[in-house]
Amino acid sequence: MAKHSVVVYGASGYTGMLIMDWLIDQNIPFTAVARNAKRTQEMMAQRVVRLESATYEIVEATHDVESLVRAFKGAKVVCNTVGPFVNFGLTTVEATLQAGCHYLDTTGEQSFIRAARDRFGEQFRQAGLLLAPSTAYMYSFAEIAAELALETPGVDALETATLCRGPRDAGSGVTVGSTASIFEIFRHEACYLWEKKLVPHAANASYTVATPELLQPVFTLPWGGTSLPIFFQNDSRVNSCISSVGFYDNEVMKFVHAVGQKWESEYKNLTTEEQDQVVKGLVDSTTPSMPPRERTTLTRTVDTAIGRGQLAAVRATVRGVTPYISTGALQTAAVMKLLDGETAKVGFASACKAFGHRYLLGFLEQRGLASASVTAL
């Protein structure tokens, strides 16, 4: 049973340790849950900032509902970082519900988010608990931009772009778990929102996005559809939402697009076991180890939402740095609200809808992680 109100599940992973950094910064005690306590303690000692001043414990658990319920019981909030979420996430969601905790995670995997909403959203609502996946740089920054655009009366159609600038070598700065999630998206339907309905993207869909912040247009992909069409599907203000992701000055998106085309032509009809081996090979070839901590002088982001109505048109942009570090900040901002009992939503909801996009933006701005602007078009 957790001794503290906050659980970080996947504590030995890169993102989990960054969440712990921010919890320590805000003087919030936590329980770190992982499969191997000794390895987790060693990793935390190497990577977690100010660990010596933290109040925490480490609990071992296997990845099954019964074991996780025992580990989570007694806490108020679970921050889940264990992916690919399409493979492992629903087990954690179910355990969180049974343990009576609010649920946050860091994924943008659309197929998992849809499944979590459909299977558990109503049960969380009835229990008075929040189920808020995708509380992370991807795609909270883009959703903040979209919400800023929606402040303009008459806007009902959204197009968003998540653009990142980082190391030039493909795969650098991306964790093993994130890489596995990227390639898992080929197995699942990716949808955009059109006239209130989720519509599958074409298998070879791609976009070229131009933005004033960057000299060259950026090659982008639907990236599994992103979480935004799901978050806005039942929003009365929004009829359509199309989102894409791209890396500036980096060939990785073209590589992923090529792999996607190869998947359709060669791997789509393989057995699950054979596909598992393909995904494993792709992951092993791109991210062999945990990446170094991000640098603000190198890793920068531009998230833009174009909002349109019959006559209205607006561009909202959120500029940021260090997506993984920002993810830890967003998780902690959400934790602080939940510990205080301040959430506008229970059941399935995005962090923006649960806590307010202005609150999340302000938390990021105060810590030098983001700034925003809105321009009429």
Residue 248's pLDDT is: 83
Q: Determine phi and psi for 25, rounding to 5 degrees.
A: -60, -35
172 pLDDT band, cuts 50/70/90, is very low
Residue 324's pLDDT is: 94
171 pLDDT band, cuts 50/70/90, is very low
Residue 359's pLDDT is: 98
SS3 per residue for 279-316: HHHHHHHHCCCCCCCCCCCCCEEEEEEEEECCCCEEEE
Residue 295's pLDDT is: 87
For helices 323-339 and 14-25, angle between their N-to-C axes, nearest 10 degrees: 50
What number is the average pLDDT over the span 38-67? Answer: 95
155 pLDDT band, cuts 50/70/90, is very high
End-to-end Cα separation, the chain, in angstroms: 54
Q: Cα separation of 173 and 61, whole Å?
A: 28
pLDDT: which is higher, 147 or 178: 147
In this structure, of 21-30, 83-92, 180-189, 358-367, the range with the lowest mean pLDDT score is 180-189
What number is the average pLDDT over the span 202-225? Answer: 92
CA atoms within 13 A on the CB side of 135: 33
Q: What is the mean pLDDT of the chain?
A: 92
Taking the model in full, what pTM does it have? 0.94
Q: Cα separation of 15 and 22, whole Å?
A: 11
Residue-wise pLDDT for 252-307, tens only, equals 788 788 877 877 777 777 787 777 787 777 767 665 556 778 888 889 999 999 99
Structure tokens that stand for 27 in this block: 């003087």
Strand 130-132 and strand 102-105: the pairing is: parallel
Write down how long the chain is: 377
CA atoms within 13 A on the CB side of 195: 0
Residue 170's pLDDT is: 47
Place of tokens 């008075």: 128
* CB environment 283-316: b (16+ within 10 A), e (fewer): beebbeebbebbeeeebbbbbbbbbbbeebbbbb
Share of the chain above pLDDT 70, in %: 93
344 pLDDT band, cuts 50/70/90, is very high
* CB environment 103-128: b (16+ within 10 A), e (fewer): bbbbbbbbbbbbbbbeebbebbbebe
Residue 275's pLDDT is: 76
What number is the average pLDDT over the span 219-244? Answer: 97
How many CB atoms are located within 10 Å of the residue 189 CB?
13
- Outline where the chain has alpha helix (H): 14-25, 37-47, 65-72, 85-99, 110-127, 137-150, 176-184, 228-232, 252-262, 272-286, 323-339, 351-355, 357-366
What are the helix and strand counts (H, E) for the chain? 13, 16
Q: Cα separation of 17 and 355, whole Å?
A: 23
Q: Cα separation of 245 and 359, whole Å?
A: 24
